[in-house]
Structure 1
């Protein structure tokens, strides 16, 4: 009986995640692979290069129909204080599939040149295509026929915006982002209820500081908070990572992330290590997260792989768009 209850809980959890999938793409540790642009458009153009990142994420390996995500991010500076970026994604969760893109713009201001105090503003236009794949629908003993209303893949397209602000002071950073500022326009006559309140808030903050002189070390504790207004659920990531540079500005890094629901600090959703390196223009990162609840016995965790390229070093002389990484 206990096994049946556990399996039922797993199915309900997967269904709940599928239901909430359209609210926002899952953010795991992709942003910690030296790609803060994942969480906010305000980071578009920060850095002295054209930055490209591709992510592959597989959640709950071992559970059939578990979420699987592929995404691509690119951002570059187009003027001394202006940056643009874009991202594409493909996300599958059971029989629900969504694809889409974000087009971002950011502007960066110098509040104080000598203390390295900067303020950035960003906006993203989002287009999302949501589809229900019926190819895997099967009949059961209780339901010998498929619902006659389900005759093809159900699709919907939504348009929305994200806005954000970023404050930086030397190695300190604080980003506040508002995602999906518009309510979803949905068909009120649809047979299945769809959530129309997609708004969610994200705060990302941390501090980057150097180790002993000539050690080539950098340390970065950080925190990522996310809250959905639809049901008030929220979670927090507590992270720590370090980088080790050589004379050629190449580096390797490692870290750990701890995610929990904000009303259950001592019951983490997942926890896991991260590693990566940058060599010349090439970047690689890998993150692993262990599921710490009852699902742990049915999967081998979540895996995230990041590969990247960085071109056109030194395309701007404005300090407000320089990266805080080993600057």
Structure 2
């Protein structure tokens, strides 16, 4: 029991630190939810795309991290898009609630070659709170919930060429006021990430598609960085499709010692979308939980054909 509690304390401290910096990134972006990680995807598509996502981390451990989000985006005019995201993140005695408003503008570099460039900007708001409702009320140091409201911005650029895509992003551009807690709390929240991949097809009308991708993230404050290596296999049935894949995440100074690895699968039938992802942590906490489970549910509504190829996610994709 002492070992279990010690491991939990260490990992909760790690997750607390990550939670303080940014909304945790698992593999939700792989569930046709790229807009969750980058504003540059706002408005790409013929529908209002809505995705609800739920993550339960380290299932089997009490008060383990859990995250829920709801996101939607829509085309605005011929070459722009807007979107909104709401999220709730819980980790032990910490809570984080917030939202994100995003805008993207899409440019056509070469319509014949399906060559596009997009720029995105997000305004972020969150409330970070330490819940003391279960603490010992006799402790004189406990005098009310600790909370702070944060405002910040993200920017990004997305390049698409035929079936290749590359998204470069910078999150939490503004430094944080650290007077609310302690002097050891990080004030530099900036982190940078790259998401890139390619959709391989034998020919344009092929039913099968293979999509390898990579997600790289680095935090400015302490230089921590990690990489996701992903691969998805997709089968099309007219406008419907089914897919399955696997993701491998590691710290960049420990390439052969993965943080987690796991399968995932999804389906889109008509306007409805569903996906499931499972990850197992390959570290000291492995024996104390049944892994991380993620479910994505979505719907595409109010179809509107775009007049510019730069807002389509078909054809050259």
TM score, norm. by length of structure 1? 0.93
**SS at 1:31's partner residue?**
helix
Counterparts of residues 1-40 of structure 1 (less than 5 Å): 4-5=2-3, 7-40=5-38
Match of 1:175 among 155, 167, 171: 167
Residues 208 and 324, structure 1, Cα contact 8 Å, conserved in 2: no
Unaligned runs of 5+ in 2: none
Residues 114 and 316, structure 2, Cα contact 8 Å, conserved in 1: no
Change (3 A) 1:128 1:319: same
Deviates more, 1:29-38 or 1:10-19: 10-19
Q: RMSD in angstroms over aligned alpha carbons?
A: 1.7
Counterparts of residues 237-276 of structure 1 (less than 5 Å): 237-247=228-238, 249-276=239-266
Residues in 2 aligned to 1:49 and 1:194: alpha-carbon distance in whole angstroms = 42
**SS at 1:16's partner residue?**
helix
Could you list the per-position Cα deviations for residues 152-191 of structure 1 after superposition, in whole angstroms to 9, with x for gaps in the alignment? 1111001000000011100000000000000012327x45
**SS at 1:320's partner residue?**
helix
Residues in 1 aligned to 2:211 and 2:91: alpha-carbon distance in whole angstroms = 32
Residues in 2 aligned to 1:10 and 1:223: alpha-carbon distance in whole angstroms = 29
Unaligned runs of 5+ in 1: 140-144
**SS at 1:20's partner residue?**
helix
Residue 230 of structure 1: how far off its partner (Å): 1.1
Change (3 A) 1:326 1:297: farther
Counterpart check, 1:71 vs 2:69:
yes
Residue 194 of structure 1: how far off its partner (Å): 2.3
Partner residue in 2 for 1:229: 220
Could you list the per-position Cα deviations for residues 292-316 of structure 1 after superposition, in whole angstroms to 9, with x for gaps in the alignment? 1111100000000000000122431
Match of 2:131 among 133, 143, 146: 133
Count of aligned pairs between the two proteins: 317
TM score, norm. by length of structure 2? 0.95
